[in-house]
Chain A
Amino acid sequence: MTVSLSLDAITAHYGTTKVLEDLSLHVGEGELVSLLGASGCGKTTTLRLVAGFLEPTAGTIMLGDRDLTRLPAHSRDIGLVFQTYALFPHLSVRDNVAFGLKQRGMGTAERHKRADDMIERVGLGHLADRYPANLSGGQRQRVALARALVIEPPLLMFDEPLSNLDAKLRVDMRVEIRRLQQANGTTALYVTHDQEEAFSISDRVAIMNAGRIMQLDTPEVLYSRPANAFVADFVGFENMIPMRVISEAGDAVRAEMEGGATLDFPKDKFTVPAQDFVLATRPEGLEVSTTDWGIPATLGLRTYLGRAYQYQCMTPAGELKANGPLTNPLEPGLHVNLVPQPEQCCLLPAETA
């Protein structure tokens, strides 16, 4: 049974503090959507609302055609994997996994059989009689996963499930989570603060800030075409240069940056969105060049990145980061131009403060 999850105009408070404002989100059937953001952005609150540990002050939560909004947590039928794993320390692996089945009134023999099958599927067949205290972090994570999956929930939710694992295990586990989620075709909501993790396993990612979704799209779009300065900054557009259009001359728009330097944007390569806008690039989107078009800069500290050199550059608009080829290391103090690469730049409307 595959269903979709819909949050409609959700507002939530902790005491008198508003933590979510008018949040709407749709997770399609069998889709995995991540909520990505720094701590305090509202992503965990959203998950706890769906799980039923919190009640929204306004809005509705629908799972398929079931209205979850006022349903107690234990009637929601959602598989939840906790950041702390929340394994019951007094129960063996088998009894932990069988716990949800027991609550559904399943007989001992049947639930142990199903639990054992699931434990086998997550690769812990030999550990069914162990207690959580005697498992490694990765093993606990698998038990938590098995416990959430075995009840065959229409919706799976993950709350920073990998943040307590070391780097190598994190990569293995996220592949495993994605595989199991896709194999079952279960709709899933995944909360994380790790961009790489979110992008690597999600169908779509919602980048959140201050209780709101800033952009919800596929990882590819988020990575290359952020819709606003917040998202751009979040996905690594380290150079943000505020600009203002001063004239249009034929096939180019001329804009001025702070400090008075001007830059022409050919219309066939750039779409200038507004009078005031922001030129956002990653360091690799600014090429160090000796041609005469670009942002005038003086090279500063050079660092070696493996695939390129990175330069701290002093420009009229402040310090910017730019990359240069390994074949031609340049010395600090050199005057150059930084050339924005159209396919690696975004022109974003300036934030209305």
Chain B
Amino acid sequence: MNTRTHPLLVAFAVLTFLFLVGPLVIIIGTSLSDTAFLTFPPEGLTLHWYQNIFEISAFRRTIMTSFALAVGGTAISMMIGVPAAYALARYRVELPKFLGNVYVLPILIPEIVLGFSLMKSVAIGAGLPIMTSLLLGHALLVLPYCVRVVGASLNAFDFSIEDAAVSLGCPRWKAFFTIVLPNVKAGIIAGFILAFITSLNDVSVSIFLTGPGVSTLPIQLLAHMEQFFDPTIASVSVLLMFVTVGVMAIVERTLGLTFLTK
């Protein structure tokens, strides 16, 4: 309380935050530029590049694919991950200790190795359709967030409440949905959001699993950058930033931002 932060340190922090926010501001500026190549600051303003997103069919399609994939993959992962997290928290004695670490493997194994291996064994080896492989790959990729974040809420949950419900005559499965789930809602929302964003932004797994006719937005962006270097990319980026803003608004509303430093 009587220690004050050194002014040089404060200046340093200010610079850091300029460094963090600046590039994103530059993207926004570029997306509004009326020149056909990337410049900043823009010479004149136009919304042409935003219009472009919807005119280039590849962007239209991949935006749809990416959102479907993020929602679908996360939903699958939640359906699989929440019961697993529940079992870990509830049956500590019955399950081996290392099981918790098994679910975190998708983070521990380098993503690009995972993508490559999935392509080799699942997409080509087992001959699964592209969309199916992508869904499975993304469900796997986000499983750690579902298990861990929901698990953190479950660990804080007092299971005697569930036992109380059962002792009052509530069947076990019903107690799970009416007693346990509402109490770990925050964890489920947080897990869903983290998983959704991870899936939406994924490059390393998707790049191996996309194929003719089916691509995701980040992969399409990479491909587009290699051929054309126009502000459409910037406008798509701004679009993605809006998604981030939306996500952060949800986090703020439901959990508060302090959640993010824990």
Binding site for B on A (CB under 8 A): 52-55, 72-73
What residues on B are CB-neighbors of A53 within 8 Å?
1-2
Chain B 1-17, CB within 8 Å of chain A: the 1/0 string?
Answer: 11000000000000000
- Which B residue sits closest to A71, measured CB to CB? B2
What residues on B are CB-neighbors of A52 within 8 Å?
2
Interface of B is mostly: loop
Assembly CA distance A53 to B1 (angstroms): 7
- Which A residue sits closest to B2, measured CB to CB? A72
Compute the total of residue contacts between A and B using a CB distance below 8 Å: 7
Assembly CA distance A53 to B2 (angstroms): 7
> Could you pull out 7 A-B pairs where Cβ atoms are within 8 angstroms?
A52-B2, A53-B1, A53-B2, A54-B1, A55-B2, A72-B2, A73-B2
What residues on B are CB-neighbors of A73 within 8 Å?
2
- Which residues 1-42 in B have Cβ within 8 Å of A in the complex? 1-2
> In which size bucket is the chain B interface?
under 10
Assembly CA distance A40 to B121 (angstroms): 65
Assembly CA distance A301 to B1 (angstroms): 54
- Which A residue sits closest to B3, measured CB to CB? A72
What residues on B are CB-neighbors of A54 within 8 Å?
1
Report the minimal beta-carbon distance from B5 to chain A, rounded to whole angstroms: 16
What residues on A are CB-neighbors of B1 within 8 Å?
53-54
- Which B residue sits closest to A55, measured CB to CB? B2
- Which B residue sits closest to A48, measured CB to CB? B1
Assembly CA distance A52 to B1 (angstroms): 9
Report the minimal beta-carbon distance from A186 to chain B, rounded to whole angstroms: 25
What residues on B are CB-neighbors of A55 within 8 Å?
2
Report the minimal beta-carbon distance from A278 to chain B, rounded to whole angstroms: 42
Chain B 173-211, CB within 8 Å of chain A: the 1/0 string?
Answer: 000000000000000000000000000000000000000
Q: 7 closest Cβ contacts across the A-B interface? A: A72-B2, A53-B1, A54-B1, A73-B2, A55-B2, A52-B2, A53-B2
What residues on A are CB-neighbors of B2 within 8 Å?
52-53, 55, 72-73
Assembly CA distance A158 to B153 (angstroms): 36
Assembly CA distance A52 to B3 (angstroms): 12
- Which residues 114-171 in B have Cβ within 8 Å of A in the complex? none
Assembly CA distance A353 to B32 (angstroms): 69
What residues on B are CB-neighbors of A72 within 8 Å?
2
Assembly CA distance A55 to B1 (angstroms): 9
- Which B residue sits closest to A70, measured CB to CB? B2
Report the minimal beta-carbon distance from A38 to chain B, rounded to whole angstroms: 24
- Which B residue sits closest to A72, measured CB to CB? B2
Assembly CA distance A165 to B2 (angstroms): 31
Report the minimal beta-carbon distance from A194 to chain B, rounded to whole angstroms: 28
Assembly CA distance A73 to B2 (angstroms): 8
Report the minimal beta-carbon distance from B174 to chain A, rounded to whole angstroms: 40
Report the minimal beta-carbon distance from B3 to chain A, rounded to whole angstroms: 9
Report the minimal beta-carbon distance from A61 to chain B, rounded to whole angstroms: 14
Chain B 87-98, CB within 8 Å of chain A: the 1/0 string?
Answer: 000000000000
Assembly CA distance A165 to B68 (angstroms): 56
Assembly CA distance A93 to B213 (angstroms): 66
Assembly CA distance A21 to B1 (angstroms): 21
Assembly CA distance A72 to B1 (angstroms): 10
Report the minimal beta-carbon distance from B6 to chain A, rounded to whole angstroms: 16
Assembly CA distance A308 to B151 (angstroms): 54
